[in-house]
Amino acid sequence: MVKEDRTGHTRRAGFLVLGIYLNDHLAGATAGTELAHRIARTHQGQDDGSRLRRLAAEIAQDRAALADIMTTLGIPVRAYKVGLAWVGEKAGRLKFNGHLFTRSALSFLEELEMMRLGVEGKAAGWRTLRTLAEADQRLDPARLDELIARAHRQSDLLESLRIGAAAQVIDLERQQD
């Protein structure tokens, strides 16, 4: 079914909504990729450094997979959304955390919580595309199943790291009392 939008352009019904949805996910994936790389850089040489580098690489691969899916579906990337997400991630670094030029004890915990929320959102997006794959042969259900499983592994890793970071923050708080 073809509809005319307010600008006079014609579009297939549902295509516009899917394009908005996937561009929103791509914007989130852009911010998540930036955040994951920043976390990995700040923990370089630490116990969790190699796991965080692998996680950041996977998250970048997931963003690329989403961009590939959008290309396959003929959905154009909305550069302004991607650009705003990139700027938003940079602006998100500015927090009133009691430290002007250094990271606070809460930084890692909060970053892990943001990453976990992002990964959960990504998994939801993959599940939505998996449902669409039942009707759209351009999508590979097996590949989407792999992406869903990877998102679950990423979420489990982030939760494990989050619990450790929370314990450190609680220990620091106790030491200051």
Structural domains present in the chain = 2-176 (1.20.1260.10)
- Under DSSP, is residue 136 helix (H, G, I), strand (E, B) or coil? coil
Cα gap 74→21, rounded to integer Å: 14
Average pLDDT across the chain, whole number = 84
DSSP codes, 72-97: HTTPPP-HHHHHHHHHHHHHTT---S
Asked if 102 and 45 touch (Cβ cutoff 8 Å), the reply is: no
User: Taking 80 as the threshold, does the pLDDT of residue 95 lie above it?
Assistant: no
Comparing 99 with 170, which gets the higher pLDDT? 170
Q: Which two tokens stand for residue 82?
A: 């991607």
Q: pLDDT band for position 55 (50/70/90)?
A: very high
Q: Which two tokens stand for residue 9?
A: 């352009």
Q: Is 81 exposed, middle or buried (0-12, 13-18, 19+ CB in 10 A)?
A: middle
Ordered alpha helix ranges (H), 43-136:
49-72, 79-91, 106-133
Q: pLDDT band for position 14 (50/70/90)?
A: low
What one-character DSSP code corresponds to residue 1?
Answer: -
CB-based burial, 24-60: b 16+ in 10 Å, e otherwise: ebbbbbbbbbbbbbbbbeebeeeebeeebbebbebbb
Task: Read off the pTM.
Answer: 0.80
